[in-house]
Amino acid sequence: MTQKADNLRVRRMQKLLRDALLDLVEERGFDALTVSEIIERAMVSRTAFYRNYQDKYDLVERIFDDEMRILMSGLGNYGPERPPQQWVNLFKHVAEYERLYRPLLGGKGSSWFVVKMRTSLAELIKEHAQVPTRRPIAGSRVFADGFITTLLASLFVDAITWWLEQERPYTPQEMALYCSRLALSIFEEAGTWQ
């Protein structure tokens, strides 16, 4: 079999597993699922599953990592626009992949996934945050120890969860504006701390 045909088969299997996982999470919740249920729904062999994934957590983590790579490539640079484009892109990304985020962040989702998403966003904020404040906080203890970045990541994860649960009553631009203003006020306040 050619490399191209093999890659196509793997991508097809990944899509089937992803769709099956998302359907089952919507129906039953993530924690209640088993690998057997996922592979049965996807009509994929157990051998094929375990050739590519360790368990259901590995499957979700790979899906999430793939989506975060897409998101990171589309963030662009920070700029003077309000709201910053990277936050607009984040909410657009969540809207586009709502089928992934809604069940995993919702009531039937997984606390493991929420922690994973919060950690990833905290790292993103720490790496890219260049927010104007009255005083620089990048070297301050509360920024360096991760308190502010974790707080801001939690703000975005909770805002995304609320937004999806409420059937997205605001546009991605509006959500980005509201969240970025809250984030800016947190950065500004933290900039006054000793």
Q: Which of 7-16, 61-70, 83-92, 127-136 has the highest mean pLDDT?
A: 7-16
Q: Which of 14-18, 98-102, 186-190 has the highest mean pLDDT?
A: 14-18
Q: What is the pLDDT of residues 127-153, one digit of tens each?
A: 766 544 444 555 556 566 788 889 999
Provide long-range contacts, Cβ within 8 A and 24+ apart, for 146-154: 146/122, 148/186, 148/187, 148/190, 149/122, 149/123, 149/125, 150/118, 150/122, 151/186, 152/121, 152/122, 152/125, 152/183, 152/186, 152/187, 153/118, 153/119, 153/120, 153/121, 153/122, 153/124, 153/125, 154/118
What average pLDDT does this structure show over 20-27?
Answer: 87
Does the pLDDT of residue 115 top 80, yes or no?
yes
